[in-house]
Amino acid sequence: MSTETPVRTPLGGSPGGASPALASRLRSLVRTDDATRVGVLQVVIGLAVIWGVFYSLNPAFLSPSNLTNLALQIVAVATMSIGVVLVLLIGEIDLSVGTVSGLAASLMAVLNVSQGYPAVVAILLALACGAVVGLVHGLIISTFGVPSFVVTLGGLIGWQGLQLLLLGDTGAINITDPGLQGLTSSFFAPWVGWVLTLLLVATMALRTFRTRAKRAKLGLTNSPAAADIIRLTVISVVLIAAVLVLSASRGIPLSVLILMGLVLLMDFICRRTLFGRRLFSVGGDAQAAARVGIHVKTTTVIVFMLASTFAALGGILSASRLLAVNETSGAGEILLNAIAGVVIGGTSLFGGRGSVWSAVLGALVIGSISNGMDLLALPSPVKYMITGAVLIAAVIFDAVMRRRQSR
């Protein structure tokens, strides 16, 4: 991580020490490259193959009831993975997300059950705890130049100790508050899903039309109209299918709506705002980003705060679904799934390339494999080996695409 003091000029400007060629290079770093799109496409194809294989082995896999259970299972990990995406985009790593999720969930349970705080207050304080943890990590990394791997590895151990201290001798707390339970047990009528689908598709179509009109007015080349129509059609079909499947079971889950709302928000921030462009710039070349006026230290601190906050929210959703927290909350496979899912979803481990949607896609892949093998009653060793093989394949693909891009 660069500790160089940035020159105070706007992004893309030409400060005293930066040449126009450097500014041009930085602008190229923030563009969405073809590797990201290819990665997303391959993940979608791989997910379709996985679903086809498990359906052929057990038709119950694609039943509305099982797919609803699958959606509920991946919500917590996918929420944590959103923060992991942000960290990877700037070329860092956070190994403490699992522990932070367990710490936040434990704090929420202690405040609500043991101390009698209202559910909303307990949730907000737990999220604030996550933000403070991220602030500590980010300040250590950016101020002292300590590698994020070391800092967050220490956090993984230290915050788990604080979690055990919060839980006390009992080591477990049952969640009985209806408000907390309702985060993952509430379902809406199908019409809510149809209204949200219509609004989302209409918004995307309007934004696409305005973008094409603006580019045409500026004399820029537009992508083929057929490509935009196909993209909108595919998204519409996927949303309609999702609403149909969820409606055929218990309805539209509140937790799924929370997840999708967060993904849409962070995707907009990453692709459409100055802060998002800074993430890709820092991950692509931190030194070049600093020379054109980006405050690398500030960006790093904000990213780690967001990552820990999303980890805290993931822990809250997990506790709501399991109706309890204990000493193992945030431990086990959670960290592996959160990071592996993002890499499988197409976000680069080397920084500067990825998408927030990889959090959902990767969680779907890992969740589908786990869910399918549970239906087939496969032993845990086999599940670990298969999940590991999928992760290695995703990392190999990432390395190949990175090498091709550098050429």
Nearest-angstrom CA–CA distance, 58 and 61: 6
What pLDDT score was predicted for residue 44?
Answer: 84
What pLDDT score was predicted for residue 169?
Answer: 84
210 within some domain: yes
Assess whether 239 and 315 both reside in one domain.
Answer: no
What pLDDT score was predicted for residue 12?
Answer: 41
Check: CB of residue 81 under 8 Å from CB of residue 87: no
Assess whether 214 and 72 both reside in one domain.
Answer: no
Mean pLDDT per segment of 10 residues, for the chain of length 407 residues? 41 43 44 56 84 93 94 95 95 95 96 94 97 97 94 95 91 93 95 95 92 88 86 91 94 96 95 92 90 93 97 96 93 87 84 88 91 89 82 76 70
* Structure-token pair, residue 191: 């019409």
Assess whether 63 and 105 both reside in one domain.
Answer: yes
Check: CB of residue 46 under 8 Å from CB of residue 158: no
Assess whether 240 and 384 both reside in one domain.
Answer: no
Assess whether 215 and 275 both reside in one domain.
Answer: no
Q: Distance from CA of residue 178 to its chain's centroid?
A: 27
Assess whether 48 and 149 both reside in one domain.
Answer: yes
Assess whether 222 and 303 both reside in one domain.
Answer: no
What CATH number did the domain enclosing 45 receive? Answer: 1.10.3470
Nearest-angstrom CA–CA distance, 267 and 279: 12
Specify the number of domains making up the chain: 2
Domain enclosing residue 283, as ranges = 34-189+251-406
